[in-house]
């Protein structure tokens, strides 16, 4: 019987051995520092828009500082809802992030029913990349030199004027609809598939104007294809200091703007969020990137993750404050989906 007894292993010893084996197997994985592989930065709109203009140079800097590829991935559809929803459902491991913009994170909550995500609940704010002024642009040879000229032409025409946008619920449509309400002029929406297509529609004369992200519009302005009538900022843009603001053009409190942020899925570990925040703010502080972004007409305002969360909530309230019953009924949705969200 002695040989048989020598083959047996006590349960405490077996448990210790299994624990040791488990540690040996798991340790190479758990010990890997973040990041250890490619990071996807999801843009919820088509290529050629603000997300690409701001996001591509940022991704290049992050790839260098993090030591892993950071790639832009375009997932357009549903006014930004498709790509945003995909990130909300992604694994909270820091490898799928959202390059989030004003439309999908703030405006959609009021205008689109059944989004499939909650901007506040389903994400962890990481960093604010840039604030983007909106520029009211017209074709270079258009017979308008001021916003007043444009509105006079709209009132004089039985059909009114047309404006483009990157899609329903985007800042381009939102701003033009607000101008329509404030001016009582006949302005008709012609949506495009993304901001780049909306800008092209103005250049080709298919529509009369567009509230375009300034970084997207500036190259075409400098090329002589477009001109800017006004910017929607509290003060003039350093990139185009001779262009008046919408306030100077006679529209009090018309200071809507867009912005680009980075968000992670809910439950992403705090150490990963902080690591990304540090890397992004460090990249934005580098003179070449900072000067490039500012020259393109955007503003850089580094924030902590907590400050980004507060900023997005305050922006939601700001947009909510300019939405009226009339705005909702005329916006084309038959009413705002989340109209009472912040009452």
Domains by residue range for the chain, with CATH: 39-131+258-330 (3.40.190.150), 133-231 (3.40.190.10)
pLDDT tens-place string over residues 74-94:
999 888 899 999 999 999 999
pTM: 0.75
- Three-state DSSP class for 142? coil
Q: How confident is the model at residue 23 (pLDDT cuts 50, 70, 90)?
A: very low
Q: How far apart are the first and last CA of the chain?
A: 81
DSSP letter for 118, please. Answer: -
Instruction: Give the integer Cα–Cα distance in Å for 39 and 72.
Output: 9
The pLDDT value given to residue 238:
82
**What does the H/E/C string look like for 36-59?**
CCCEEEEECCCCCCHHHHHHHHHH
Confidence at 224, pLDDT banded by 50, 70, 90: very high
What's the rounded mean pLDDT across residues 144-170?
A: 93
Q: Could you tell me which residue, 82 or 9, shows the higher pLDDT?
A: 82
Given a cut of 60, whether residue 21 has pLDDT beyond it is no
Check pLDDT > 60 for residue 4. no
More confident residue, 123 or 22: 123
Q: Are the C-beta atoms of 241 and 232 separated by less than 8 Å? A: no
> Which pLDDT tens digit goes with each residue over 256-310?
888 999 999 999 999 999 999 999 999 999 999 988 888 888 888 899 999 999 9
Give the model's confidence band at 337: pLDDT under 50 very low, under 70 low, under 90 confident, else very high.
low
pLDDT value of position 258: 86
- Give 66: exposed, middle or buried? Use CB within 10 Å, 0-12, 13-18, 19+: middle
In sequence order, the β-bridge partners of residue 299 are: 131
Mean pLDDT, the chain, rounded, equals 86
Q: What is the pLDDT of residue 12?
A: 46
pLDDT band at 328 (very low <50, low <70, confident <90, very high): low
What pLDDT, on a 0 to 100 scale, did the predictor assign at position 300? 86
Q: Tell me the average pLDDT across 116-122.
A: 93
Higher pLDDT, 179 or 326: 179
Q: What is the mean pLDDT of residues 189-198?
A: 91
Which stretch of DSSP H or E encloses residue 270? helix 270-284
Least confident of 161-165, 310-314, 328-332: 328-332
Mean pLDDT of 52-77: 94
pLDDT at 299: 83
């Amino acid at each position: 019987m002695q040989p048989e007894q020598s083959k047996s292993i006590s349960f405490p010893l077996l448990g210790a051995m299994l624990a040791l084996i488990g540690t040996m197997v798991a340790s190479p994985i758990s010990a890997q520092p973040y990041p250890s592989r490619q990071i996807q930065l999801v843009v919820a709109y088509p290529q050629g828009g603000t997300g690409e203009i701001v996001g591509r140079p940022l991704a290049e800097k992050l790839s260098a500082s993090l030591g892993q590829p950071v790639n832009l991935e375009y997932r357009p559809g549903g006014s930004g809802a498709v790509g945003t929803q995909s990130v909300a459902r992604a694994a909270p491991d820091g490898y799928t992030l959202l390059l989030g913009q004003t439309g999908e994170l703030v405006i959609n909550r009021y205008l689109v029913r059944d989004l499939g995500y909650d901007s506040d609940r389903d994400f962890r704010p990481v960093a604010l990349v840039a604030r983007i002024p909106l520029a009211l642009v017209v074709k270079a040879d258009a017979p308008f030199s001021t916003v007043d000229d444009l509105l006079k032409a709209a009132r004089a025409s039985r059909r009114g004027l047309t404006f483009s946008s990157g899609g329903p619920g985007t800042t381009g449509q939102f701003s033009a609809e607000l101008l329509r309400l404030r001016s009582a002029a006949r302005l008709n929406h012609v949506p495009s598939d993304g901001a780049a297509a909306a800008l092209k529609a103005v250049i080709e004369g298919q529509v009369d104007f567009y509230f375009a992200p300034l970084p997207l519009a500036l190259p075409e302005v400098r090329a002589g294809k477009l001109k800017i009538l006004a910017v929607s900022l509290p003060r003039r843009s350093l990139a185009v200091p001779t262009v008046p603001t919408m306030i100077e053009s006679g529209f009090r409190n018309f200071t809507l703007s867009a912005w680009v942020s980075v968000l992670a899925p809910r439950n992403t570990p705090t150490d990963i969020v902080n690591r990304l925040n540090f890397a992004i703010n460090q990249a934005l502080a580098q003179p070449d990137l900072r000067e490039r972004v500012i020259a393109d007409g955007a503003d850089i305002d580094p924030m902590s993750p907590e400050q980004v969360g507060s900023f997005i909530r305050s922006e939601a309230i700001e947009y909510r404050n300019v939405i009226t019953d009339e705005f909702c009924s005329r916006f084309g949705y038959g009413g705002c989906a989340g109209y009472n969200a912040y009452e």
